[in-house]
Amino acid sequence: MIVMVWIGGLKAFQYEADGIVPFVINSPFMKFFYHNTGKTAVNDKGKIVAEYTLYKNPEGKTVQKNIDWHKENGTYIFSYGLGTVIVIIGLLVFLGIWFPTIGFIGGLLTFGMSIITLTFLITTPEVYVPDLGGDFPTPVHGFPYLSGAGRLVIKDVIMLGAGLIVASDSARRLVANYR
């Protein structure tokens, strides 16, 4: 519950909203929420890249042209909505301590949310270490080498299990109440 309320609450802040763009824009389940999905552009090296990669604000840095792009993309509106949903799911799980029906719903929603999040391991290029070159060939890149973003996503396996535990415990209490 604490994790969901905290992470959901952070979705109201620009740096967190900017940070979820690679996940959302590459997701077949969520990309329709953004306006710039599928767009490409030419980067400073003359390579055609996904447009969003040119508008990343690193955590702790804000660039106005990037913020303007994110506003036009719908990044912030979507993030506010997603954050609200995550906070509500966290509160449902918490309320499940006293109300097993609500806990059951919260557990199932946590499980479902985790399934969607784990699909990012398939759809988001940024979840694996890129081959950036260097003085010699980089031997550890691509699958199965998780980047920081990938390590963040894989932890949702824990949320998936927790959602199942909450749902099953709530279901057990519901059945016990009807005997």
Average pLDDT over residues 81-88: 98
Average pLDDT over residues 132-155: 91
Res. 161: pLDDT tops 90: yes
Task: Render pLDDT for 110-127 as a digit per residue (tens, 0 to 9).
Answer: 999 999 999 999 999 999
What contacts 115, CB < 8 A, 6 or more positions away?
Answer: 160
Q: What is the percent of the chain where pLDDT is above 90? A: 89
> Model pTM?
0.92
Range with lowest mean pLDDT among 112-121, 133-142, 152-161? 133-142
Q: Helices (H), strands (E): how many in the chain? A: 9, 2
Res. 82: pLDDT tops 90: yes
What φ, ψ does residue 128 adopt, rounded to 5°? -115, 150
**Of 159, 121, 169, nearest to 8 (Cα)?**
159
Residue 1: per-residue pLDDT? 84
- Rounded CA gap, 82 and 76, in Å? 10
Q: How many CB atoms lie within 10 A of CB 64?
A: 8
CB 123 within 8 A of CB 27: yes
Name residue, tokens 């995550």.
86
CB 129 within 8 A of CB 142: yes
Res. 98: pLDDT tops 90: yes
Q: pLDDT band at residue 84, thresholds of 50, 70 and 90? A: very high
Residue 23: per-residue pLDDT? 97
Is 128 in a helix, a strand, or coil? Answer: strand
- Rounded CA gap, 94 and 123, in Å? 31
- Rounded CA gap, 8 and 4, in Å? 6
Q: Which residues pair with 48 in a beta bridge?
A: 42
Length of the chain: 179
Give the tokens for residue 169. 């415990």
Q: pLDDT band at residue 53, thresholds of 50, 70 and 90? A: very high
- Rounded CA gap, 166 and 97, in Å? 9
